[in-house]
Amino acid sequence: MKIYKVTAPSNIAFLKYWGKQDEKLQWPSNNSLSMTLNECQTFTTACVQNSLKNFSFKKEGENEQEDSFSLKVIKHLEFLKKKYQFPSFLEVSTHNNFPTASGVASSASGFAALTLVAIAAWTESSSFHELEEKGFSRETLAQLARLGSGSAGRSLFGGYVVWKKGSSPEGQRVACFLPKSHWDLADTIVILSKEEKDLSSREAHKRVPTSPLFSVRLSGLCEREKLFLQALEKKDMKSLGALLELEALEIHFILMTAAEPFSYLKENTLEFLSWLRNLRQETHLEAYFTIDAGANVHVICEFSKREEFLFYFRRDFPKTHFLLDAVGDGPKLFVTEE
């Protein structure tokens, strides 16, 4: 029996996907831009089981469960099976090499891995080249993955990735903007809260358009995107850093001013942000924060500056956990015979 195995990375958004113009069609309110990570990965295996009457999905080391993630996974597999009329069900199992509550987007790596491994198993493809020959280019796979979770589409590519919303839901595009080799950026993920986040990003996307700040955000995003792309192209850390922090604070303030307000930022998150800004003033160390839908902070700096950042961080936060990550390649596909 052939077992298809995929490892897919998470990604950290620089320009954030925040709000949906059409929820059913997973059409975002704005373009987004992310850096694919290297270390935080989801590992998923799939095999075709002709005897199965339903999908079997397990998180490794756990029994089959009916939690919200597992239900979303089954729904996504059912959608793919129906869309392409694949005859068989699959046995799927998955695990992450990072804690789910770390503020790292596990749905991004999770749905990227799931989509890729399921299509590879159904089409009996053992490489991206074979997938492409069968009509599943990386771009097509990204389009399918984003239907499971928007940010997952970006995890199909390595390096710096753009998701363009286009002028209609069908006009969306996901593509690599610059490869990993263009700029060696590091991401140190500071774990300030180990609790699972108490509002899903799916729910946050629904709430943010009700903030009076939302339309102000959208009106400035075209210009901000241009500046982000320029900063990346020129490897201009100062400009990139200012944009990262503005973007992160803006999306959180929008959620805090929604009709049903919510804040992911805890007291110690805010303390950490002030600490980082003070450190920058005192030492001129170019390290900047960004935060997705959670309380933990991603500190972005050039790889060559990470040791210096860690020196101050360990000195001032000796008990705080962190994960070391950096810009990485896209997903990988393997096949084994058992």
Regarding 150 and contact with ligand DP6 (CB under 6 A), the answer is: yes
Which residue, 105 or 244, has its beta carbon nearer to ligand DP6? 105
β-pair type (89-96, 160-164): unpaired
Contact status, residue 48 vs residue 87, Cβ threshold 8 Å? no
Which residue, 18 or 122, has its beta carbon nearer to ligand DP6? 18
Give which of 231, 205, 223 is closest to 300, Cα–Cα. 231
CA 163 to chain centre: 12
Contact status, residue 57 vs residue 70, Cβ threshold 8 Å? yes
Binding mask 292-311 vs ligand DP6 (x if CB under 6 A, - otherwise)? xx------------------
Which residue, 147 or 333, has its beta carbon nearer to ligand DP6? 147
Q: Which range of residues in 93-101, 148-156, 221-229, 252-260 is near ligand DP6 by CB under 6 A?
A: 148-156
Regarding 202 and contact with ligand DP6 (CB under 6 A), the answer is: yes
For 126, phi and psi rounded to 5 degrees? -110, 5
Regarding 207 and contact with ligand DP6 (CB under 6 A), the answer is: no
Which residues are bridge partners to 138 per DSSP? none
CA distance 120 to 127: 8
Which residue, 195 or 338, has its beta carbon nearer to ligand DP6? 195
What helix, strand, coil percent values describe the chain, rounded to 5?
Answer: 45, 25, 30
Regarding 115 and contact with ligand DP6 (CB under 6 A), the answer is: no
Give which of 262, 309, 259 is closest to 284, Cα–Cα. 309
Q: How far is the CB of 103 from ligand DP6 (least distance, A)?
A: 9
Q: DSSP class of residue 327?
A: B
Regarding 156 and contact with ligand DP6 (CB under 6 A), the answer is: no
Which residue, 107 or 269, has its beta carbon nearer to ligand DP6? 107
Contact status, residue 18 vs residue 309, Cβ threshold 8 Å? no
Residue carrying structure tokens 């199965």: 52
Count, residues in the chain = 338
Regarding 105 and contact with ligand DP6 (CB under 6 A), the answer is: yes
Q: Which range of residues in 11-19, 48-56, 239-247, 316-324 is near ligand DP6 by CB under 6 A?
A: 11-19
Beta-strand ranges (E) seen in 160-253 are 160-164, 173-178, 185-191
Regarding 151 and contact with ligand DP6 (CB under 6 A), the answer is: yes
Q: How far is the CB of 152 from ligand DP6 (least distance, A)?
A: 7
Regarding 36 and contact with ligand DP6 (CB under 6 A), the answer is: no
CA distance 111 to 227: 30
The binder of ligand DP6 chosen from 149, 211, 269, 296 (CB under 6 A): 149
Q: How many residues bind ligand DP6 (CB under 6 A)?
A: 14
Regarding 110 and contact with ligand DP6 (CB under 6 A), the answer is: no
Q: How far is the CB of 209 from ligand DP6 (least distance, A)?
A: 13
Q: Which range of residues in 61-69, 187-195, 200-208, 326-334 is near ligand DP6 by CB under 6 A?
A: 200-208
82: left (phi over 0), alpha (psi -120 to 50) or beta: alpha
Q: Which residues bind ligand DP6 (CB under 6 A)?
A: 13, 16-17, 32, 105, 107, 149-151, 201-202, 205, 292-293
